[in-house]
Amino acid sequence: MQFALLIYESPEAFATRKNDSYTGAWRAYYKALVDAGIFVGGDPLEVPETGTTVRLTEGRRRVQDGPYADTKEQLGGFTILELPSLDAALDWAARCPAASYGAVEVRPLTPELRRRITE
């Protein structure tokens, strides 16, 4: 079963991305995921200000600077893991560096919908 760990970070956390302790904790976490044989994919995202949001309202394009949601904590990255259960996914979410300075949302992927879309 595959789960996405969605990483939410505050502006303060985004500002510490160049610090050694930030990268050190994430490097260690990444290594643990790979060594456990559960890492499927994932990437960090650029800071939220670099986002541009597009939608069509009544046929008209609306383009907005910045991310979709106007919240303090913003999506900072995602990781996809292959795991046997939600319990195991929550376990890995708790170990994720962002769990202590931001938040980690765990969501199962939906392979059934994926199949209908891609086949």
Contact residues: other proteins, CB under 8 A: 21, 24-25, 27-33, 35-37, 86-87, 90-91, 94-95, 97, 99-101
- Beta carbon nearer to other proteins, 19 or 64: 19
| Shortest reach from residue 111's CB to other proteins, in Å | 21
Distance CA 103, CA 98 (A): 6
| Shortest reach from residue 78's CB to other proteins, in Å | 17
State both tokens at 110: 């939906």
| Shortest reach from residue 92's CB to other proteins, in Å | 9
- Beta carbon nearer to other proteins, 47 or 99: 99
* 51-90 exposure pattern, b = at least 16 Cβ within 10 A, e = fewer: eeeeeeeeeeeeeeeebeeeeebbbbbbbebbbeeeebbe
- Beta carbon nearer to other proteins, 42 or 67: 42
Greatest C-alpha distance within the chain: 49
